[in-house]
Chain A
Amino acid sequence: MWLDTLLFYFFALLTLTGGVLTVTRRNAVQSAVSLITALVGVAGLFLLQRAEFLFAVQIVLYVGGIMVLFLFVIMLVNLDEAARQRQFARQWWLALACVAAVVAEVVWFLQKGAGALRLPPAAPPPVPGPGNTETLADVLFSEYLLPFELASLLLLVAIVGSVIMAKKRI
């Protein structure tokens, strides 16, 4: 039990540190590497929550796919000029105030008392049955078949769109 607690704090620290560094770094490559740290932390949290399939998806797709795409674009686009300029927009204090207000609201809601957040008691752990991936596939390919097919359509549109956007002359 205490190992779970320790691992949670470790991965949470990894995620938050990576997130803060992503937002504050001047150099975009350093930002991207920090984002990889944050994404690995989130993957660890998925594993702690017994979502093994999403852990694998997070590592393969985010860290292996999206982040490589980001790094390629950083190398394609010349960011040296941008790194020398001002990094934050002029209305940063307004954004900070708005975000602080929202966070204070949510924390107040979570802290208000034991009865404020009425989560029903956690469901009992399931009896050992089919694994996480098998359960997910069962639900995804039966109950959520239409959204699944729509997602493939969305990806097709995204492929065509990004190729058209990045091409010099169509």
Chain B
Amino acid sequence: MLHPITTVHYLVLSVALLAIGTLGVLTRRNIVIILMSIELILNAVNINLIAFSRHFQHTTGQIFAIFVITVAVAEAAVGLGILIALFRNRQTVQADEIELLKW
């Protein structure tokens, strides 16, 4: 009755999570939530990597996922540091109110 789960199931899930994360990055105004959406995108990538690692019984996908997580940690730390500096100077966390470089 229930179909066995194949690699394609994981790929479809990964696409859905990627779409949700991209929508969050593109539409939200709050920078904190934009950073959270970036984490969602990176998790979608990790699901993909793990699915292929399992499919081919090859460890490299998991190694790559570890590096993706490392980059995500660095990104979150620096991004939140920038956010604090920004809030101290501009008193806002809305992405479209920071328009110094806009012409």
Contacts and interface: CB of A to CB of B under 8 A. Distances in A.
Interface of A: 1-2, 4-6, 8, 12, 15-16, 19-20, 22-23, 25, 28, 31-32, 35, 38-39, 42, 45-46, 48-51, 53-54, 57-58, 61-62, 65-66, 69-70, 73-74, 76-79, 81-82, 85-92, 95-96, 98-99, 102-103, 106-107, 110, 117, 119-120, 122-126, 132, 135-136, 139-140, 144, 147, 151, 154-155, 157-159, 161-166, 168
B11 A95 contact: no
B12 to A, nearest CB: 6
Given A89-B28, A96-B27, A45 B81 contact: no
A16 B40 CA distance: 10
Interface in B52-86: 53-60, 62-63, 65-67, 69-78, 80-85
A88 B7 CA distance: 34
Contacts of A66: 39, 72-73, 76
Interface residues of B, number: 74
A88 B81 contact: no
B53 A51 contact: yes
Given A42-B43, A163-B81, A54 B66 contact: yes
A23 B20 contact: yes
